[in-house]
A and B are shown apart, each in its own frame.
Chain A
Amino acid sequence: MLIRKAPDLTSADVTPKQVYLDRRKFLQAMGIVGATAVASRRLLELAIPPQTVLAATKFGDLIKSPFSTTEKQNSYEDVTHYNNFYEFGTDKGDPAKNAQKFNTSNWVVSVEGDVAKPRKFTMEEILKIAPLEERIYRHRCVEAWSIVVPWIGFSFSNLVKLVEPTPKAQFVAFQSYYDSRQMPQGRWAGIEFPYVEGLRVDEAMNPLTLLCVGMYGESLPNQDGAPVRLVIPWKYGFKSIKSLVKIKFQSKMPPTTWNLSAPNEYGFYSNVNPNVDHPRWRQNKERRLGEIFRRDTLMFNGYGDQVASMYNGMDLKKNY
């Protein structure tokens, strides 16, 4: 098996967070000072910077991916302030507020189950699995809105090859981090945590399936699933699990959170499909954030060339 050489990005390249001054925060703070103070709390934050704010790491030398769309990217502001991350609250603006202090240091992703080489990956190890690419994907939420995001990462298959799944492995189960002390809003979400998701192994091995560590040239903001998540662009957004801690290869189809919550509304596959409505709303159109009127939703979110063959002979109305 070919294991690609590690990228030349090492932990030494990661700017120490104590030294790093988040430009965005700084400019924001300057704006507030200039505009003669909107809220005194912000000013206090400026005087005494909160210790827990993790500075974003910039990623240089990203490989441009042929999978990228040329469509107009959404603004960083939209993608970081309109989030579904129910562990941090169910309003779209909640995660941006409540995930600020989420501690993602010493992150470990455990890979287990039907694999020849189970192991735990630290973030440093994950960043060395394959060269980082920028992939600009369309992202379609089951709620009928969509965004275009320049994600950073590499095909999930690179990690799979390292752990060598056995022939028994038919499915991959994923689990998000959950800590009710760090995520107190989660208890009101109305869904069970930790959040779990799953894919068939062939879906997981599809080159489009991205193990994602950043976006917009930087490491992932907390509210977007820091420090590592999946992005599966031909499926509804809730399949793209955030803040990943566990990956398990298995022979049985794993349970998935939204399917457990409402099985008639959210299936295991959840491929973007304009011909199969959600029981409560139509799926043939979507609103691209930043636009007012809806546009047509594309089959497999426009990624049919890469993924349609995986579902040959399957009734996608039944396997929604």
Chain B
Amino acid sequence: MRALLTSKWTKIVVFLVCLIPLGMLVWRGLNNGLGANPVEFIQLTTGRWTLRFLVFTLCVTPFRKLLKLPDLIRFRRMLGLFAFSYLCIHFLTYLVLDQSLDLSAIWKDVAKRPFITVGFLGFLLLLPLAITSTAGWIRRLGGKRWQALHRAIYFAAVCGVIHYYWKVKSDVRMPLFYGALVGILLLWRLGDWFFKRRSAAGARLSPQHAPANPAQ
């Protein structure tokens, strides 16, 4: 399993698999398969894939620990960058095809429509993470600060779910589904953090008791 996860080829295959949704979209576009409202279709599809890739990215750490497969970390940055890439297509579709780059109208939308505000906020949260995703930036920021910054993905994922929930008219099943996935993944982290803190506190306590004995 380890050999498979660390193989260069696995990474290439995963990369190509992540491109399939984009490829399907392009294929549909070339074959008149985007339906009656292509702009809406692209927005909906890329929005959903953004959420899915955010969920995949958030899955990496729990799966590494639960399945004892630390090498899964090799895919986290790629998955996160795919989430951001699909988000960029989503956002660009809105800016160019949906709003024809009418900046004043877009700004009004962002300011006035809560579902757009929260979607835009999610984009702003992910932007620095994409920029600082390189090894160079990890070095420059230092592991601790880099990690703290990249916790912004939690809030971005929540923004994405709220954005979707506020967008739909009445059938909230899909937004709730993604909300549940993100909720579980964030709760796992909370539990993990709580458990680690407790065991760390326990570890601190026992050595303090230990030297007391020889003194007697």
Residues of A within 8 A of B (CB): 74, 77-78, 81-82, 86, 90, 92-93, 143, 145, 188-191, 261-262, 279-282, 287, 289-290, 292-294
Q: Which of B37, B105, B167 has the most CB of A within 10 A?
A: B37
Determine if A81 and B109 form an interchain contact, defined as CB atoms under 8 angstroms apart: no
Determine if A191 and B113 form an interchain contact, defined as CB atoms under 8 angstroms apart: no
B-side interface mostly: helix
CA distance A279 to B169 in the complex (A): 12
Determine if B39 and A287 form an interchain contact, defined as CB atoms under 8 angstroms apart: yes
With A188-B173, A190-B170 in contact, do A280 and B115 touch (Cβ < 8 Å)?
A: yes
Determine if A261 and B170 form an interchain contact, defined as CB atoms under 8 angstroms apart: yes
- 7 A–B contacts, CB within 8 A, in A order: A77-B36, A93-B35, A145-B40, A279-B113, A282-B105, A292-B39, A293-B100
Q: B113 to chain A: which residues have CB within 8 Å?
A: 279-281
Is B141 on the interface with A (CB-CB < 8 A)? no
Determine if B39 and A189 form an interchain contact, defined as CB atoms under 8 angstroms apart: no
Give chain A nearest CB distance to B90 CB in angstroms. Answer: 16
Nearest A residue (CB) for B32: A77
Give chain A nearest CB distance to B163 CB in angstroms. Answer: 11
CA distance A294 to B166 in the complex (A): 22
Determine if A190 and B36 form an interchain contact, defined as CB atoms under 8 angstroms apart: no
Determine if A86 and B170 form an interchain contact, defined as CB atoms under 8 angstroms apart: yes
With A282-B109, A293-B97 in contact, do A189 and B171 touch (Cβ < 8 Å)?
A: yes
Given contacts A289-B36, A293-B97, 10 further A-B contacts (CB under 8 A): A82-B35, A82-B37, A86-B170, A145-B40, A190-B170, A190-B172, A280-B115, A280-B166, A282-B105, A290-B36
Determine if B36 and A82 form an interchain contact, defined as CB atoms under 8 angstroms apart: yes
Give chain B nearest CB distance to A39 CB in angstroms. Answer: 15
Give chain B nearest CB distance to A223 CB in angstroms. Answer: 13
Within 8 A of A (CB), among B102-127: 105, 108-109, 113-115
Give chain A nearest CB distance to B177 CB in angstroms. Answer: 12
CA distance A188 to B171 in the complex (A): 6
Q: Which of B40, B100, B173 has the most CB of A within 10 A?
A: B40
Q: A90 to chain B: which residues have CB within 8 Å?
A: 168-171
Q: B23 to chain A: which residues have CB within 8 Å?
A: none
Tell me which of A81, A261, A279, A294 contacts B36 (CB under 8 A). Answer: A81
Is B38 on the interface with A (CB-CB < 8 A)? yes
Residues of B within 8 A of A (CB): 35-40, 97-98, 100, 105, 108-109, 113-115, 166-173
Determine if A189 and B97 form an interchain contact, defined as CB atoms under 8 angstroms apart: no
Nearest A residue (CB) for B114: A280
Nearest B residue (CB) for A81: B36
CA distance A301 to B169 in the complex (A): 22
Q: B35 to chain A: which residues have CB within 8 Å?
A: 81-82, 92-93
CA distance A77 to B100 in the complex (A): 26
CA distance A204 to B105 in the complex (A): 36
Give chain A nearest CB distance to B129 CB in angstroms. Answer: 28
Determine if A189 and B36 form an interchain contact, defined as CB atoms under 8 angstroms apart: no
Q: A290 to chain B: which residues have CB within 8 Å?
A: 36
Give chain A nearest CB distance to B133 CB in angstroms. Answer: 33
Give chain B nearest CB distance to A205 CB in angstroms. Answer: 30
Q: B109 to chain A: which residues have CB within 8 Å?
A: 281-282
CA distance A77 to B97 in the complex (A): 23
Give chain B nearest CB distance to A185 CB in angstroms. Answer: 9
Nearest A residue (CB) for B109: A282
CA distance A86 to B170 in the complex (A): 10
Tell me which of A93, A191, A280 contacts B170 (CB under 8 A). Answer: A191
Determine if A289 and B37 form an interchain contact, defined as CB atoms under 8 angstroms apart: yes
Q: B169 to chain A: which residues have CB within 8 Å?
A: 90, 143, 190, 262
Q: B173 to chain A: which residues have CB within 8 Å?
A: 188
Determine if A78 and B170 form an interchain contact, defined as CB atoms under 8 angstroms apart: no
Give chain A nearest CB distance to B16 CB in angstroms. Answer: 25
Give chain B nearest CB distance to A138 CB in angstroms. Answer: 16
CA distance A90 to B173 in the complex (A): 10
